[in-house]
Structure 1
Amino acid sequence: MVQLAPDVPKDTGDDHDTAPVVWVVDAPGGGYVESPDIEGRVVGPHGTVRLVIVPDDERDRLPRAACDYMILWHRVPLDASFFARNTRCRAVICASTGYDHVAVEAARAAGTSVFHIPHYGTEEVADHTLALFLAQVRRLPDLRAHVRDGGWDWRSITDAPRVRGMTWGIVGLGRIGLAVAQRARAFGIRVCFYDPHNHPGVEKSLGIERRHSLDALLTDADVVSVHVPLDSTTHHLLGAAELDRMKPGSLLINTARGAVVDVSALRQALAVGRPGRVALDVVEGEPELPHWLRDHPRVLLTPHAAFYSVESLAELRTRAAEAVRELIVAAPVTSAVRVA
């Protein structure tokens, strides 16, 4: 059942003179918030903060007209029916960089503002991307397995390439893509990028190279990392045809959104070595994963953890709560970015 604090008004639909009700909405089992202590401290006397835990099969039972503001974690989607029956909700703050789990057009039609927080955790995701890169290129999973099985032979590293001089292709040169580019260049890696939305000439200021098509980037890069939001234009951006254009033996890294990479096409692509290795922090359909993917010897998986550090999680929760407070007191919203 939906776990809802008993003193949150439910199903009344009546206006009230008490402080605005703020929900922190999360999923059970591996959720992000155990207690809304940070949110309560930041919102302070301006609102009444409650944690609401919503199981997968209870999403359509969120009480009608029960909150004024919502801080929403990405494992709980809000579809059009939610906004049709919750017209009191003034704003949804997505505690994430992405907002593909919210029916944005339906929210706009219902008069509900939607915000996200793209400017947190940039360092962590970029660092994690580099960690996945080094782990795969230096064959750390293979070496660890070799030592764990009783071996101690450096030759088990087999075909590890030299990092300096490799070509790294970045798909999406936003905040995280830029941070990855800076880190990759420090290793002596040649960096190119594909991003049709970025300003012409940005490559000159960064000392990197632009590719004017995704195909050109895929055929040139030894390493491809993905840093794009998920929407209708990026869903399965890397499908069977695109994967087939990657260099033999190349490395694909995804720390963005799982559905950017067609996981069903990935199996055949790995079978022919295009790419040769994969490192994924996000997977289409997560947390349910195909058995072949979990067990594949050339796939390195981490459980959607790239965003995390002690500091980044606290920063994300604080920014989301600050955005709510700013909305309540009618101050300019500087802690989040409006999308609808």
Structure 2
Amino acid sequence: MATPPCVNGRRETTHGTGPSVVVLDGPGAGYVEGAELERSVIGSLGDVRPLIVPPRERGLLQDLAADYAILWHRVPLDAAFFERSPSCRGVVCASVGYDHVDIEAAYDRGIPVYHVPYYGTEEVADHTLALFLALERRLGALQEHVRDGGWDWRAIGDPRRLRGLVWGVVGLGRIGLAVAQRAQAFGLRVAFFDPYNHPGIEKALGFERCHALDRLLAESDVVSLHAPLTPDTRHLLDAGRLHRMKRDAVLINTARGALIDISALEDALAERRPGRVGLDVVEGEPDIPPWLRAHPRALVSPHAAFYSVPSLVELRTRAAEAVCQMITGEPVTSAVAVPRPASGPHPSVARRAG
């Protein structure tokens, strides 16, 4: 890849005179703001500017004149954007997911779309285990007990021994595999559901493969979700499937909020199927239901699983480098091309882990 000019070992950060590159984010998200890092990577290859797009003003995107867009997940790009943006040559989603982009509309106009699936695997896997351990060891309740002046170990209730429990992984991709290996290190037995993963991979990894999601839900003490959001996976866990979970099982979601039907989750928790839930993503976020914020058996974090200081730098750098590669006409190696939909969800991503 062509490298922008360097000054004292750092890439030139002044505005370029080349193609226009817009970095799109939503208000208050705090991902880019000044876009200094993107400017330092792209340098004189392009003219980089950030644009904060409030939800009520997304119609302005339809008249946006930019050659390339780096897109954060709070801003959707629909068919109208691609119809009215003839200058657009490429989009890079600064995220693992890309359900906020009308992929078919983009490809109909010859506009490639990329995403960055490799940057935060360790962080999301660690956060998944952290949610589970906090729920299983009742850390929230113990913290409140001590803050209220107590010091009684029996406040922990009746926790289970972790060794021998079954951890069910839905989607054995990069993150799902990292979670499974961590769970295995704690002595849990790992089962997984992933109809598109290689036959026999369970033998190499020492996991159990479930060919039916319902069976995985019925047999697992812990279920974690690691699938992308597609038409095929939206509300993958609806009222019926939630009811099939083991009583008092733990459900963890660090993938996409709409994998779980949030309207069905309240009743499911009341029936203790699942008994506890740890969510880093919620359908409709950041506007999440008041009952969920206050639920005593729910642990919710604000879409933070991806984050560490190095992971955010890596994500922003990879997205910007992908734009550089598109500008120079080189193969894009810093991001991954999103497959064009054929008829329905692409089989390679329909239920695979992000």
- Residue 142 of structure 2 is matched in structure 1 by 143
Q: Secondary structure at the match of 1:279?
A: strand
Question: How much is the aligned-residue C-alpha RMSD, in angstroms?
Answer: 1.1
Q: Which amino acid is 1:246 matched to? A: M
Q: Which amino acid is 2:327 matched to? A: I
Per-residue CA distance 1:246-284 (angstroms, 9 max, x = gap): 000100000000000001100110011100000000000
Gaps of 5+ in 1: 1-16
Deviation for aligned residue 1:192: 0.3
Deviation for aligned residue 1:56: 0.6
Aligned residue pair count: 324
Q: Map 1:63-102 to 2 at 5 A.
A: 64=63, 66-102=65-101
Q: Does residue 132 of the first structure (1) align with residue 114 of the second (2)?
A: no
Q: Map 1:277-296 to 2 at 5 A.
A: 277-296=276-295
TM-score, normalized by length of structure 1? 0.94
State how far apart, in whole Å, the 1-side matches of 2:329 and 2:277 are.
46
State how far apart, in whole Å, the 2-side matches of 1:297 and 1:217 are.
26
Deviating beyond 6 angstroms after TM superposition, the runs of 4 or more aligned structure 1 residues are none
Q: Which amino acid is 2:212 matched to? A: S
Mapped contact 1:226–1:255 kept (Cα < 8 A): yes
Q: Secondary structure at the match of 1:216?
A: helix
Per-residue CA distance 1:127-151 (angstroms, 9 max, x = gap): 0000001000001011111111111
- Residue 258 of structure 1 is matched in structure 2 by 257
Q: Which amino acid is 2:283 matched to? A: E
Per-residue CA distance 1:85-117 (angstroms, 9 max, x = gap): 001101010000000000111111122111001
Q: Secondary structure at the match of 1:62?
A: helix
Q: Map 1:111-130 to 2 at 5 A.
A: 111-130=110-129
Gaps of 5+ in 2: 1-15, 341-354
Per-residue CA distance 1:213-237 (angstroms, 9 max, x = gap): 0011001000000000000010000
Deviation for aligned residue 1:63: 6.1
- Residue 333 of structure 1 is matched in structure 2 by 332
Q: Which amino acid is 1:131 matched to? A: A
Q: Map 1:95-244 to 2 at 5 A.
A: 95-244=94-243
Q: Secondary structure at the match of 2:202?
A: helix
Mapped contact 2:325–2:332 kept (Cα < 8 A): yes
Q: Secondary structure at the match of 1:52?
A: strand
Q: Secondary structure at the match of 2:140?
A: helix
Mapped contact 1:243–1:266 kept (Cα < 8 A): yes
State how far apart, in whole Å, the 2-side matches of 1:65 and 1:230 are.
27
Structure 1 pair 122/156, CA: closer, same or farther in 2 (3 Å)? same
State how far apart, in whole Å, the 1-side matches of 2:51 and 2:295 are.
37
Deviation for aligned residue 1:30: 2.5
Deviation for aligned residue 1:164: 1.0
Mapped contact 1:21–1:69 kept (Cα < 8 A): yes
Deviation for aligned residue 1:31: 2.8
Mapped contact 2:125–2:179 kept (Cα < 8 A): yes
State how far apart, in whole Å, the 1-side matches of 2:204 and 2:55 are.
46
Deviation for aligned residue 1:152: 0.8
State how far apart, in whole Å, the 1-side matches of 2:85 and 2:109 are.
9
State how far apart, in whole Å, the 2-side matches of 1:63 and 1:249 are.
48
Mapped contact 2:62–2:80 kept (Cα < 8 A): no
Mapped contact 1:194–1:217 kept (Cα < 8 A): yes
Q: Which amino acid is 2:42 matched to? A: V
State how far apart, in whole Å, the 1-side matches of 2:322 and 2:204 are.
33
Per-residue CA distance 1:120-173 (angstroms, 9 max, x = gap): 100000000000010000010111111111111000000211111110000000
TM-score, normalized by length of structure 2? 0.90
State how far apart, in whole Å, the 2-side matches of 1:41 and 1:156 are.
52
Mapped contact 1:65–1:87 kept (Cα < 8 A): no
Q: Secondary structure at the match of 1:19?
A: coil
Mapped contact 1:224–1:252 kept (Cα < 8 A): yes
- Residue 9 of structure 1 is matched in structure 2 by none
State how far apart, in whole Å, the 1-side matches of 2:239 and 2:64 are.
45
Moved more, 17-26 or 216-225: 17-26
Q: Which amino acid is 1:212 matched to? A: H
Q: Secondary structure at the match of 2:333?
A: coil
Mapped contact 1:164–1:187 kept (Cα < 8 A): yes
Mapped contact 1:251–1:277 kept (Cα < 8 A): yes
Mapped contact 1:253–1:278 kept (Cα < 8 A): yes
State how far apart, in whole Å, the 2-side matches of 1:27 and 1:151 are.
43
